[in-house]
């Protein structure tokens, strides 16, 4: 099966019109939209300690995408993800939320994850899987309150690979940096069927992993507030909802939109046929603002430096410069796919 990894992705809180929870652009939603052009059904799994609210919201009314989130629920950001939130309209029963309490350990997590995901694969039978592997659900995370080991965290990912479906594996949260590095290094090895030694080899960052200098760490002895009765109740409720899902939904024939990135060189203008202004040179090009390359020379002043303060920066543009032809401004013909 095909597996693609992007540890820099997994920004599951961003919404269509707002940033949220350290997330500005929801790469997960954009990736699923692309996958849905070629796959009938896409399954999204989220084991970040925070609820994957941005992804759930995007696909709350469709059966083309099923979202499953295992997260801390209660007085905790973003405050969503109740077990009662199951989707709406055509998407009813295709949003699954597994609300958990502080201190859940490997054993309890596995007792929920494997039965639920087995039933999901049986009832929904997705063509592709997107797996958000947020590392803030590990024990000892600075913003988290779960008690998972690296092996317990990775067991969820390893289990999903046994179904033989194409997978996109993403990063996410994680605020004890040395443990994030440990976790994603180990999980990369799991996906590549490579056994990584527990003793870390000498490297420039070895001091971050002292005093034991090991790949794995021992979870804490924090109290597990997920009683057996609570875990059994959550599992039974979700499995009951999954039984209500109708037979595997199909997709009617439809026109497939173009790819988000169209790299067809045949559609690009021949640079030899462009005048200096169209190439970005000439008098028009001289008026364009100079981009800072990270170095200063005698001709540079403070105004040429990039400004990270949004309030002091110049007004943003839409990234598309208006071309001038015969003295008239040629504007965009209409909204793009991303505008919608």
Q: Give 128's strand partners.
A: 42
Distance CA 149, CA 24 (A): 29
Q: Give 168's strand partners.
A: 4, 130
Q: For residue 284, indicate whether it is catalytic.
A: no
Distance CA 73, CA 63 (A): 25
Q: Which of 13, 39, 71, 153 is catalytic?
A: 13
Instruction: Yes or no: say if 98 and 112 are a contact pair by the CB < 8 Å rule.
Output: yes
Kindly list the catalytic residues: 13
């Amino acid at each position: 099966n095909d597996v693609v990894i992007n540890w820099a992705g997994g920004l599951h809180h961003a919404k269509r019109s707002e940033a949220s929870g350290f997330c500005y652009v929801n790469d997960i939603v954009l990736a699923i939209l692309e996958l849905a052009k070629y796959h009938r059904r896409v399954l999204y799994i989220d084991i970040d300690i925070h609820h994957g609210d941005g992804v759930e919201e995007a696909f709350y009314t469709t059966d083309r995408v099923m979202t499953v989130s295992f997260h801390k629920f209660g007085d905790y950001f973003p405050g969503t993800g109740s077990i009662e939130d199951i989707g709406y309209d055509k998407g009813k029963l295709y949003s699954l939320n597994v609300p958990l309490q502080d201190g859940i350990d490997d054993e309890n997590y596995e007792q929920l994850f494997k039965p639920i995901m087995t039933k999901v694969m049986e009832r929904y039978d997705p063509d592709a899987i997107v797996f958000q592997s947020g590392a803030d659900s590990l024990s000892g995370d600075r913003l988290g309150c779960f008690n998972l080991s690296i092996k317990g965290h990775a067991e969820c990912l390893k289990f999903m690979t046994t179904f033989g479906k194409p997978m996109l594996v993403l990063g996410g949260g994680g605020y004890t940096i040395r443990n994030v590095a440990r976790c994603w290094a180990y999980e990369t090895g799991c996906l590549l069927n490579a056994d990584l030694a527990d003793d870390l080899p000498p490297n420039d960052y070895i001091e971050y992993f002292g005093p034991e200098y090991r790949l794995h760490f021992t979870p804490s002895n924090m109290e597990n507030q997920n009683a057996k009765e609570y875990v059994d109740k959550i599992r039974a409720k979700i499995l009951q909802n999954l039984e209500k899902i109708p037979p595997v939904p199909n997709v009617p024939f439809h026109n497939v939109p173009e790819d988000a990135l169209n790299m067809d060189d045949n559609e690009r203008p021949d640079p030899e046929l462009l005048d200096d202004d169209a190439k970005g040179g000439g008098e028009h090009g001289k008026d364009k603002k100079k981009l800072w390359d990270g170095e200063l020379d005698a001709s540079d002043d403070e105004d040429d430096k990039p400004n990270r303060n949004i309030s002091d920066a110049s007004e943003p543009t839409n990234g598309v410069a208006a071309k001038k032809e015969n003295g008239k401004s040629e504007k965009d013909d209409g909204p793009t796919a991303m505008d919608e």
